[in-house]
Amino acid sequence: MRFIEEIVVDAFLPTFRALLAEDLRARGFTQAEVADALGISQSAVSKYAHGEVSMNERIADDKRVHDLVARVGEGLATGDMTPVQALVESEVLIRQLEEGDLLSDLHEEAMPELASYDGFHSIHDPEGHLRTVEQVRSSVRRGLRMLTNTSGFAGLIPNVGSNLVEALPGADNIDDVAAIPGRIFDVKGQATVPGEPEFGVSEHVASVLLSARAADADVNAALNVVYDAGVISDLEAAGYECIEFDPDAPTDPVRATLEGRDLPETFVVYQSGGYGIEPITYILGPDAPTVADVVRVLL
């Protein structure tokens, strides 16, 4: 009797780790950093580097394995992907390969009696909540990196601070929206991000995004920046639809303003201020990197 988990341990993991170790080393990771990223010892990394670990050729030649190695390697190198997401992505591929696929074939070869039975039933859902949560956080990180690497962005941060937010599919409250805790502030001309993206930490920008979604706008992300006539003029000149709303309206002014409109994929809403209310511009779009990229037209 041989479990499919043994195929994973004996064939997939050594092969995948060897390929990922090679990828990370090529991206400039030290041996110690590779060991930390993979959760293994430096001596194990050394064995991978010197070809002392046996790899399964069929697994090593599979394009999906190579694609995963490249995606995880890039994510870990840039910081867009946490170890949790790397684990989830790897587990998803393992379960896919287990169910009537490569690992299932290797399992049947090791235990021919399995051939007369249905394939392995997946216990990991590729569309599962944990994976989706990590993908949204990763998207926000990519957007943040674009903003912090854009010269002059700090000058677009309003007095109340900026936030970059992205919602889970089906989001209907702020707990379903990832954002920056404490907001992004201009500190001596530098955009300062106080922490990692978290869910449920933005009331203001998340509420604007949720209101737009409630008005049937097909948007998942939002970013707030300063408002002035020049900002709106530049955005309109770049082809973005800009829609003003009244922040003093009695009920959900963003939703009331947007309902019934035929809205593009990426658009702008803004309010020019009111009593005790700072004027703000909001960029809304399909994901965090897309709305972050809009900032470039203002600089």
> What's the rounded Cα separation, in Å, for the pair 30 and 96?
31
Centre a 10 Å sphere on the Cβ of residue 216 and count the other Cβ atoms it contains: 12
Domain chopping of the chain, boundaries: 4-116, 129-297
* Beta strands across the sheet bearing 242-244: 198-199, 177-179, 164-167, 221-226, 280-285, 267-271, 242-244
DSSP one-letter string for 82-138: -HHHHHHHHHHHHHHHHTTSHHHHHHHHHSGGGGGSPPPPP-S-TT-HHHHHHHHHH
DSSP 8-state secondary structure symbol assigned to residue 162: B
Residue positions counted in the chain: 299
Pick from 132, 155, 120, 136: nearest CA to 3: 120
Among all chains, which residue has been given the structure tokens 């709303």? Answer: 245
Mean pLDDT over the full length of the chain: 91
Superfamily (CATH) of domain 129-297: Class II aldolase/adducin N-terminal domain (3.40.225.10)
Q: Which residue has the higher pLDDT, 249 or 232?
A: 232
> What's the rounded Cα separation, in Å, for the pair 180 and 128?
23
Residue 128 pLDDT grade (very low, low, confident, very high; cuts 50, 70, 90): low
- How do residues 195-248 score in pLDDT, each as one tens digit? 999 999 999 999 999 999 999 999 999 999 999 999 999 999 999 999 999 998
181-201 mean pLDDT = 95
- In what helix (H) or strand (E) does residue 22 lie, and over which residues does it extend? helix 13-26
The model carries a pTM of 0.78
- How do residues 16-37 score in pLDDT, each as one tens digit? 999 999 999 999 999 999 999 8
Give the distance from CA 160 to its chain's centroid.
Answer: 25
pLDDT of residue 122: 34
> What's the rounded Cα separation, in Å, for the pair 121 and 124?
9
27: left (phi over 0), alpha (psi -120 to 50) or beta: alpha
